[in-house]
Structure formats: structure tokens, C-alpha cells
Structure 1
């Protein structure tokens, strides 16, 4: 499937910015499940200082901001050829060793609720257990926007029983690690069946399975990624794979607007 993606992020400020830095992870790579055909970044109000691959193999750009911009816009867009691999994205790559993904982070640190969830996964083969875990998470966490934010931990989301794809992915990663699987968070895009316009990127999780490599599980939708998914960045949690992060020096008040389209 050939997908066309446009992702516009715009920051508006009520006064000039003294200085700022932004880190972008917005450049998808080709792999077993996708081939990048065209991709471009358009940046206004900031300048690109350096480009590198981070420890997880994500294409990463650092932008600097100074002077008097009141608006900063970043547009990532292009076309990706995708194919359905039943969620399998292949062998482990990147500078970070596989064992690093066995370790929890502050956002995925398990408490009683996650430990009980992992313990409730039944017996069976690796894929059977992971699909069972995904089904349990979909049952326990209703998809409700506005009830969690980027600081919400996996344990908090599971106890609350509501959240978004970020929370489903954190709970899956935390639980899979308790079950003995290296696990990671994936940031990307999903072509919706009922709309083109979106206001946020998508997220899912992957677990490492012997003889298969990394296998994806989207607990928010109860399925493994198919040809409607575009993967962009990975990390142990949201903070390590988020599309844009940054710091500002000064007292300017910030307003954020995000507009995403994903279509054939």
C-alpha cells in the first residue's frame, strides 16, 4: 500500500524567544514492513544544526531557535510503500544492545496492577502469550482522550482504566518485560478507516521473539500492525521516541497546533 503522510507542528509564542533547542525524530527509515519513497522536512523559524542516528537508530535532528521568531513550524511529509508482515519488523538493529530493552523506565515501572496483569497471562507459546497480553490490555484500558498526558505512567493508566495509544503501549512494554521479553515503544502513523485528518501521531509496542525478531502489538486497536502503519522512531518509552521535544529559555507562553493527514 502506498501511503501519503503530512505532519505539521506549529508553535506560537506571545513574545520573542531568547533561545531554544528542539530534537526531531520525524524521518522514517526503510525496513521489512516499509520502503520510504519520498520524504522531506520543511522548517520555519528555526535552523537545523546537526543530524545523527541516536542510540536506537532513529534519524534525529537538532534545531536551534534564537532571535525574534513568534512562530515555529515543522512539516514532515512524503510517501511510504508499506506491506503487511503480520507485525514482524525483523532482527534487532541499532547501537543499543537488545538487553537494554529488558529494563524498565520511569514511565513503564511496574506496580501491583501491572505485575498482576502480567501474572494473569496464560501459558502457551511466545506469540500466544503476547497476543493474550494485548487482548487483556485492550479490555482493561478504554480508549478515552484527555484522561492522561505525556507524564502518565503505565501503572497509573492501568489503575485509571482509561488512556490513549501511548498508555496502551507503555503498559504492554512494561508487562512484556516482566514476562521475559525485550520490549520497546514505537512512534509512527496509522491510516484510519474513517478519516484522513488526525491531531496526533500513533503509537504501539514491539516485543522481541526468538526466531522472528521484533513483533508489533497495537493494544489500543487489538491487532498487530499491518500495511496501514508507518513506523518512524523507537525507544524504551514515549520520551525516547517522541517526534518533537525541546527546551526554551525565556518567559514566552506557548501554543501548540498539530495537523496530520494519512491517506492512500
Structure 2
């Protein structure tokens, strides 16, 4: 499938700021499941800085914007050809060992309820791939998709307690239950295209990957009860949403309120 992306993120400030710096993880991953036809990232009025590939294989680019400024706008436009690999991250080059993703973060810290969910889900499953699928299904059934039910800092334990959340919460919960059963897992950010038959989701999307011996990293989207296929564009990963955030930055100044506006459109181009 050939997918097109238009993504604009605006940070609006109530008073002029002295400047801003941005760290962008907005570049499609390089692996057998996707190839970039063209891709352009720009911070309006900004100065492009260093670009590098980190140990997880994600490209990161720095930008700075000189003030005074009342707005910072990050724009992405591109086209990616995708292939369905049944969620397997085949051909992705990275240096971080899978075991590094066994350590919990505040967002994925397990509690008694998550432990009980994990143990019940894999009670009758022995093979690693089957166990991963059981864990993903358990999270899907335990946390209903409900936009606005949670916020950016909601933890996996809190969303499970509420019984509802968004894709970020499903990913955090799946990471938590996978770690409980001894499987490394990580958070993935990206985009998701849905045609007229698709289920509700955010076009700027998130899911989890679980490390399985013999297969490597395999994606599981508990929010949509499936593995990533050719409707997905993978950007980057981390132990949680904060580490995998497509945009991280800092505005320099005081006494200003910040407002965030995001527009994302993912479409399918003619083959």
C-alpha cells in the first residue's frame, strides 16, 4: 500500500518566548515492511541542527527557533510504501539488546491487577507467540477504547483500573503485562490509515512491540485487536510514550501559557 501523510503540530504561546528547541523523531523506520518514497520534515522559521540514528535504530533530528516567537509549527509531509509482514519488524537495524526493555517505567509499573491479568491471560498458552497474542487480547478486552477518558500521564495501572483509555494506554498496559511474564516489550509511535470499514482510532497512533525468540520484535495493536499491517507507518520506539514521542522540545521564556493544536491526515495513494 502507498500511504500519504500530512501532519502539523502547533505550539501557541500567550506571550512572546525567547526561542525554542525541538528533538524530532518523525522519520519512518527503515525495515522490510516500509520504504520512503518521499518525506519532508520542517519547523517553520527554524534552523535544522544535528541528525543521528540512535541505538534503537530511530532517526532523530534537532531544530531550534529564534525568538521572540508566539508560535512553533512542525510540519510533516510524505509518502511511504508499506507491506504486510504480520507485525514482524524484519530487517530493522538496532544495537540496544532486547533485555533493556524489561525494566518498568512509571507509566508501565505493574500492580496487583496487571499481574493478575497477565497470569490469567497466559495460563493455558505455552508457545511465546501464542502467549503474546493472549496478552494483547486480554488488554483489548480489559480496556475499552474511549477518547478523552485518560490523559498524557495516565499509567497502565490507572487505565486498567478505569477500564477505558486510548491507544497510549493500551500500549502501556501491554508492555506491563508482557514484562510481568518475562517478555521484553516497548512502545511504538507512528501513523495508522483506516478506510471506510476501519474502526475508530487516532491517525497519529501507538502500539507495542514484544520480543519473541526466533522472530525478534513483533507488533501488537491492542487498541484495534490486531498486529500492524500495511495500514501502519512506524516512526520510533521507547520504553514508554514519553521516550517514543515524535516531538520533544522546550520553549525558552516565562509567564506564558502553552496551547497545542495537532492535525493529522493519513490517506492511501493510487497504486
Pairwise TM-score range, normalised by the shorter structure: over 0.9
Structure 2: state its 5+ residue gaps.
Answer: none
Q: Identify the residue that residue 106 of structure 1 maps to in structure 2.
A: 106
Counterparts of 1:160 and 1:140 in 2: how far apart (Å)? 9
Q: Identify the residue that residue 257 of structure 1 maps to in structure 2.
A: 261
Structure 1: state its 5+ residue gaps.
Answer: none
Spell out, residue by residue over 1:133-160, the C-alpha distance to the aligned partner (whole angstroms, 9 max, x if none).
Answer: 1111111101111121111111111111
Q: Secondary structure at the match of 1:16?
A: strand
Per-residue deviation, 1:64? 2.0
Counterparts of 1:14 and 1:199 in 2: how far apart (Å)? 28
Alignment of 1:1-264 (within 5 A): 1-90=1-90, 93-121=93-121, 122-124=123-125, 125-194=127-196, 201-250=204-253, 251-264=255-268
- Normalising by structure 2, report the TM-score: 0.92
Per-residue deviation, 1:68? 1.3
- Normalising by structure 1, report the TM-score: 0.94
Per-residue deviation, 1:90? 2.4
Q: CA RMSD in A?
A: 1.6
Counterparts of 1:156 and 1:255 in 2: how far apart (Å)? 26
Per-residue deviation, 1:92? 6.6
Counterparts of 1:41 and 1:113 in 2: how far apart (Å)? 41
Query: Does structure 1 conserve the Cα–Cα contact (< 8 Å) formed by 2:210 and 2:217?
Result: yes
Number of aligned positions between the proteins: 262
